[in-house]
Every structure is written in structure tokens, then in C-alpha cells.
Amino acid sequence: MQHFLYAAVALSALASAHYTFTGIELNGVKKGSDWTYFREHTRGYMPTYGPDIASNDFRCQPGGDSGAKTDVLTVKGGDKLHFTLGFGKTGMDHPGPAAVFMSKAPSDVKSYDGSGDWFKAFDSTLCSSPSAITTTAWCSYKQPGVEFVVPDRLPAGEYLIRPQHIGLHESQGDGKGAQYFYSCAQVKIEASSANAWLPTRTVKIPGMIKEQDDGVKFNIWYPQPTAYPYTPGGPLIVGGQTQGDSKGVSKSIVTVAQKRSIGGSMIARARDLVSS
């Protein structure tokens, strides 16, 4: 009996080490249950490790290339979506950046495999000093999920939405030990703005993130970092939101209002203050 007890405790400790996204709250109201709107995948709560991001499975996980059995949630620009964790997990307890990626389906999202264009609609980095970069500096640390606001200028239609958290605790300079947690939800955006515009600065999966990206091979342990370079996965779209910054100066959530040139490349970084 004693041994069984120890085994059970060990198993639950293991289960609580990782996480994946299974549930959705729309404007604070829980919709459906686990896997109602997220494509159920076969990786469970286990992470994708560094080298495996070169696979098509990096789109929506193994088993997630079709959404025939998954419902489609109707949303509109300005809605707040909270992507929550399954397997009894209540917080993302690894240090690293969070992001939300979207891809518009050619027609209906249930049959879309995610092979088209993706763009980043939200990211979060450091909300406090990088001296605590092994834990609490990250805006997402211990958070119960990833929350974002549907950009209000996207064209009506059906989309995959892919929240992602990267655990950098074992990345240690070469990116091979980075842990990726993500799943794909299916949404239908109702007609919104007359100025609707589909982002053109897009990326493909695989390809959008590489082991050698500065934000992936990043070593949180040594030498002690003074900043985090950027969230990998292409530029944040105009109309998207970002929380925190590379030095943890502010934890404000701000909407990207326009692009300006940083270091020779156009990176969406000019911001309008939304809240603090």
C-alpha cells in the first residue's frame, strides 16, 4: 500500500509538470468542455521538444491535422478569449514566452490542415526584472492559460487559433531542450470592420520557429540575462496585442498601432497604451 501511494504521488507530480490547451472562455464565460473547440491531439500534456518543430505536427500536434470532430466557436473582433489548460493543470509553471498564432482557413476550418499562412496576434514576454528570469519575470508564469483579444480588423471567416507557451528552462543555449506547449482551436469570426484586412507578413509551420532563433536558444541560467530578445514566430500584426517587454519595464497590455523599423527590419513595436 505504501509503495502504491508513493507511485501515485510520483505520477501526479509528473503529470503536473507539463500542460496543453484544451478549454476556452469567451468574455469570461466557459464554453463547452475539454476539446470541444480545441482539436484533441495524441501528445496529451507532453511538450514538443526542440528538433521536432521541423515537422508538420508542429501546426496542431499529432492527431490534430483535421478538426472534423471538433466544434467551431463563433466570435467577433474585440472578444476576449482565454485558453485554459487540461489534465487538471492550473498554471503554466515553466519560464518562457507565450504567443497566439492564427491562420485563416481557405473555406471551412474543420477540413483545414494548417498548411497556409500564419500570423502572430498576441505575445507576452517579461513583466518584471530579468533578474528573476528563471521564474516570475515572465508575464505568463503560473498563469492559468493564455488570454488574448480577437483583433478587430480581421476579415470574417473561419480560423485556426493556436496558443503557444515555450518552456525555456532546459533550452540552455542550443534550443534543443526548449519545450513547446500548444493546441489548435477552431473559430468563426463574424463580419466586423469594413476595413477588414488580412495580414500579409506571415509565416508557415513548420519554419516559423527554429532552434537557433535567439528567443529559443536563449539560456535563462547563465550568464544571467539582462533582457529577452523577442518572442519567436514572425512579427506581431498591427492590431495585435503584446504584454511586457524585453527588459520587464512594464507589464501593460498594449495594442500594436503601427510598424516602425528596429535594427533594419520592420518589427511591429509601436504601441498604444490600452491598460496597465
Task: State which residue, 17 or 132, has the beta carbon closest to Cu ion.
Answer: 17
Least Å distance, CB 60 to Cu ion, is 20
46 is a site residue for Cu ion (CB under 5 A): no
Toward Cu ion, which CB reaches closer, 93 or 117? 93
Contact region for Cu ion (CB under 5 A) — 11-19, 82-90, 139-147, 251-259? 11-19
Q: Is 165 in the site for Cu ion (CB under 5 A)?
A: no
Closest CB 94 distance from Cu ion, rounded Å: 5
Nearest CB to Cu ion, comparing residues 145 and 151: 145
Q: What is the closest distance, in whole angstroms, from the C-beta atom of residue 269 to Cu ion in the complex? A: 30
Decide if 192 contacts 153 (C-beta within 8 A).
yes
Question: Pick from 10, 11, 12, 17: which binds Cu ion (CB under 5 A)?
Answer: 17
Pairing mode of beta strands 236-243, 119-124: parallel
Q: Is 18 in the site for Cu ion (CB under 5 A)?
A: yes
DSSP H or E segment with residue 83: strand 80-85
Burial class (CB in 10 A: 0-12, 13-18, 19+), 78: exposed
Closest to 60 in 3D by CA, of 38, 75, 86, 82: 38
**Minimum Å distance from CB 226 to Cu ion?**
25
Closer residue to Cu ion (CB): 34 or 170: 170
**Nearer to Cu ion by C-beta: 18 or 217?**
18
Which stretch, 9-17, 129-137, 145-153, 234-242, contacts Cu ion (CB under 5 A)? 9-17
Let me know: does 62 contact 184? Beta carbons within 8 Å.
Answer: no
Question: How far is the C-alpha of 113 from the C-alpha of 222, rounded, in Å?
Answer: 39
Closest CA to 50 of 179, 164, 165, 219: 179
Neighbours of 155 (CB within 10 A): 13
Q: Which residues bind Cu ion (CB under 5 A)?
A: 17-18
